[in-house]
Amino acid sequence: MSEKEKMINGDNYMPFCELLEKDRFRAKTLCMKYNTLTPDKKDEKQKILSELLGNAGENSVIEPNFFCDYGYNIEFNGFVYVNHNSVFLDCAKIKVGADTFIGPNCGFYTAIHPINAKERIKGIESAKPITIGNGVWLGGNVVVLPGVSIGDRSVIGAGSVVTKDIPSDVVAVGNPCRVIKQIEKL
């Protein structure tokens, strides 16, 4: 099994193999091109997003600067708005539902490094997917950690670090992020 297949399957893998390094260079080159386009170049931006992401959604907007590791593990399942300075470390899938708004300086980190220093120094890592539901709003400076799911229509307060799953229809805040109230369903 290749290191890329191991990464996709959630197994331990070596991220500095030739194939994964080539994939990261491709993604980072496309991100650089995307980040240098002027705001009026909407068609060119959509073309790059379609080439970069596993699914770019429908007319999604990502404000510069945008950074990701691979791109092909990011899926927008409808319109998604991502504000400035987002980081998607997509060693595993990052799925974002339709009509989701992501504030500035947000990070989505799927990579997991061993706690044991000897293992970490070897360069081994693994990854767990992140899933964001439909109609979610993440405030600025939110960090979402590996393996987390956030339910539909939930709101994550600015500066939160989401370390565990958040259900649908709630407001959650803090570090670690925790539910503080239920949202009334329409």
Catalytic residues: 113
b/e sequence 10-21, b meaning 16+ C-beta within 10 Å: beebebebeebe
Helices and strands (H and E) in the chain: how many: 4, 18
Domains of the chain as residue ranges with CATH: 3-182 (2.160.10.10)
- Strand-pair partners of 132: 96, 150
**SS3 state at 11:** coil
Please give the pLDDT value at position 127. Answer: 97
d(CA 97, CA 57): 9
Q: Write down the pLDDT at residue 134.
A: 98
- Rounded-to-integer distance, Cα 148 and Cα 109, Å: 10
Chunked mean pLDDT (size 10), the chain, 186 residues: 95 96 98 97 95 94 97 98 98 98 98 94 96 98 98 98 98 98 86
- Predicted confidence at residue 95, as pLDDT, reads 98
pLDDT digits (tens, 9 = 90+) for 12-50: 999 999 999 999 999 999 999 999 999 999 999 999 999
Residues 6+ apart with CB under 8 A from 62: 34, 45, 49, 82, 86
Question: What distance in Å separates the CA atoms of residue 87 and residue 107, rounded to the nearest whole number?
Answer: 5
Residue 157 and residue 139: Cα distance in Å, rounded?
Answer: 5
CA-to-CA separations, 182 to 83, 139, 163, 164, 185, in angstroms, rounded: 26, 17, 19, 17, 9
